Structure 1
């Protein structure tokens, strides 16, 4: 089991940050070697489904996900999205929250609690996978923040 949480401050309003984060295909713009496609009729709300494909050629894998909680930020109230990962390689949950901050700023907290298969080979690699997750998602959230700040006219 691999767990991690990454936090990123963003110079953009929570509604803008939320809109950027839930534009699932755009995640491929920030996450290296990743493309995302929506597989459900509706890309928003509980039940929205999408697949992230990560890697190169035969080393790529699909990471199918479904939204299980959808609560956009409203006023001073934070938003939260929870996702179940149900792939052959990555299983578990992911979530993010968007917390409004003073001055039209936000904080994004992104967490994952996943198992990477084959578990018999990866079960002892939890700390290393957690570190890789924090590094990778940290870079991804910084790139997302730049996009949200650009959309908010603060880049």
Structure 2
């Protein structure tokens, strides 16, 4: 399994950082050739399936991920989400944690993923690519200006400025 792990500091309060990094359709604007949707539509909760469709037309694959832990930030400001990848091509899990850090927050992302079609010797480059892609997604989501009147699922545009910590 390829381990993908990183942390990002943000000036955003934990509830806002959580809202941004768990707004699954917004990830679509930043992950190449991938569209995310949820079943059932609506707010995420335990049991929600996040479906990532990667590819173009018939050339692609689905990466269904079931939310098995959904704990938005509570009184202590910490939120946790765990997704289990149940696809035929990609298997593994991902965990997202948002916690308070001074006036802002820290987002921690840990994921183990395996592309079944690739030999294990591809795990290190998969981990490297995952850190780069998902790290950039989180950086952009945290740095984006507040959501416009465009509504949920709409990208807020490119952003910069989330500070990196860890790898």
**TM-score scaled by length of structure 2:** 0.80
Q: Which has the higher helix share?
A: 1
Q: Give the conservation status (yes or no) of the 8 Å contact 2:14–2:77.
A: no
**SS of alignment partner, residue 121 of structure 2:** coil
Q: How many residues are treated as equivalent by the alignment?
A: 148
Q: Does 2:143 correspond to 1:142?
A: no
Distance 2:30 2:15 in 1: 19
The answer for the alignment partner of 1:112 in structure 2 is 111
Misfit runs of 4+, over 4 Å: none
Q: CA RMSD in A?
A: 1.9
The answer for the alignment partner of 1:13 in structure 2 is 13
Structure 2: segments with no counterpart, 5+ residues: 148-160, 162-167
Q: Note the C-alpha offset of 1:66.
A: 0.7
Q: Does 2:62 correspond to 1:62?
A: yes
Structure 1: segments with no counterpart, 5+ residues: none
Instruction: Call closer, same or farther: CA 1:30–1:10 in 2, change over 3 Å.
Output: farther
Q: Note the C-alpha offset of 1:46.
A: 0.6
The answer for the alignment partner of 1:91 in structure 2 is 91
Distance 2:44 2:100 in 1: 21
Q: Give the conservation status (yes or no) of the 8 Å contact 1:3–1:111.
A: yes
